[in-house]
Amino acid sequence: MSATVVQPGEGRTISAFGNEILFKLTGQETAGGLVLGLATAPPGSGAPLHVHEAEDEVFIIVEGRYRITIDGTTRDAGPGAVVYLPRGSVHAFQVLGPETGRHWVMVTPSGFERFYASAAEVFAAPGPPDRARLEAISAEHRVAFVAAGAAGHG
């Protein structure tokens, strides 16, 4: 592993789940240590309740208002807020209001970028997303989507 500088606009953009992440650092650059990306989420979009069993996740909100649910507790957060999501926590987010949301997302260890890229292939295919394929990808990466109303560790 060597030090690196990623310039503005550099990185790999991947779209899935109605959102887009510009991955600035992946496991390839960090020897598997972490993933860092700048996520863009349209108004009203977000991620449904889910849990990462193998990774910790941090959001740093740059633009927009977010509703964050963690283990059954919901809070609103805006620019400058930091959200820590330890592995095993059931969480979701939604962008509130008319503004697009933008947040840095850091996941450790790496692997999230591979999950997101595989899911993006499913969303890019014609027709509605293949739910069975998304479930298989999620299981492979130890990410589980949780029924609404569920809380606690999955």
Pick from 70, 142, 82: nearest CA to 111: 142
User: What are 143's two structure tokens?
Assistant: 């990410």
Task: Name the CATH superfamily, with its identifier, for domain 12-112.
Answer: Jelly Rolls (2.60.120.10)
Residue labelled with tokens 């507790």: 73
Helix (H, G, I), strand (E, B) or coil at 42: coil
Q: State residue 148's pLDDT score.
A: 59
Total-model pTM: 0.89
Domain coordinates of the chain in residue numbers?
12-112
151 pLDDT above the threshold of 60: no
C-alpha gyration radius of the chain: 15
- At residue 146 the predicted structure's pLDDT band, cuts being 50, 70 and 90, is confident
Q: Over the stretch 11-43, which tens digit does the pLDDT of each residue have?
A: 999 999 999 999 999 999 999 999 999 999 999
Amino acid at the residue 44: G
